Amino acid sequence: MENLPERNLVGFKPPPKTVWTKRTKADFRTGMLFLSPWLIGFFAFTLYPMLISLYYSFTIYHSKRSPEWVWFQNYTDLMTDDKFWISLNNTLYMVAIAVPLGLFASFICALLLNLKVRGQAFYRVVYFLPSIVPTVAGTILFLWLLNPQVGLVNTVLEKIGIDGPNWMADPNWSKPALILLGMWGMGGTIIIYLSGLQDVPQSLIEAAELDGANWFQRLWHITIPMVSPITLFNLITGMIGMFQYFAQAYVVGGGDSLGRPLNSTLFYSVYLYQNAFLFLKMGYASAMAWILFIIILLLTLLLLKVSDRFTHYSG
């Protein structure tokens, strides 16, 4: 047994040791020099804020004296905070409804924009344009469109005999209105789906046609499985983005009445912002940030775990 390692090493040639010549050292210094802007940015603006927020999450933050270490008090306080659960429920509502609805609508639009019709490029530009409109401008535009007295949407609904809702003043309609706003700017997701549709092998489509498959059968058995990696990507990025939903809700709240009406637009990031920068409860907000990080991490890992059941990577 003592000679076994020596027998296994018979014929084995260890890799040659790296010789640090002057040229190698100079190349290493040059490489590190080019990497240094990214390294500085990573340590200064990503790693350090993450570590300091983890520290603050176990403290009560004081602006004029050192933070007071309180162990898990911020986390236990969050469990009994009604607004914390309201904001989490509002955010989960958007994740559960807005993300799947946006994916479905984006895929349908991408299918239509992939049809070989006259003016195809024009239609693609028209659908993509809203996604480059600044978020604040787009939200203000929608606030006007959804105005219950002079808004275009309620005016059109009135023409066809429907009494339009009081969108942003009714807690039952405020989140659906924000979902409509999100679907208006889904041009980026449409473009990603379009790129995936370009890679669907035409040979498979033609073979299915020869076998007598109709349009829906080709869509269900070929197109949707072939773009499933795109769907997974859009699902994960959409979910992460929705958990960080902030700008639209901030504009709707007008800055001084965030969460209106009746906390129906009080999303997780909005409540985190309130605690951090309006109430100056940095420790409390840091604990919220780490809980959000853990929720997103767990849901992302879960999606990746179950993605094998609906994602196909081979052609």
Digit-coded pLDDT (tens) for 195-252: 999 989 889 899 999 999 999 999 999 999 999 999 999 999 999 999 999 999 999 8
Give the residue with greater pLDDT, 151 vs 314: 151
Percent of the chain with pLDDT strictly greater than 70: 94
Distance CA 64, CA 58 (A): 18
Location of structure tokens 């914390």: 84
Residue 1 pLDDT > 50: no
pLDDT value for 10: 59
> Other CB atoms closer than 10 Å to residue 91's CB: what's the count?
23
The model's pTM: 0.85
Comparison of pLDDT for 253 and 282, the residue scoring more: 282
Mean pLDDT of all residues in 34-62: 94
Which value, to the nearest 10 degrees, does the dihedral of the CA atoms of residues 68, 74, 76, 82 take? 140
Q: What was the pLDDT predicted at 12?
A: 65
**pLDDT tens digits for 66-119?**
899 999 999 999 999 999 999 999 999 999 999 999 999 999 999 999 998 888
Per-residue pLDDT, 293 = 96
What distance in Å separates the CA atoms of residue 215 and residue 205, rounded to the nearest whole number? Answer: 10
Confidence tier at 8 by pLDDT (50, 70, 90): low
Q: What is the pLDDT averaged over residues 48-58?
A: 95
Do the strands 68-69 and 59-60 form a parallel or antiparallel pair, or are they unpaired?
A: antiparallel
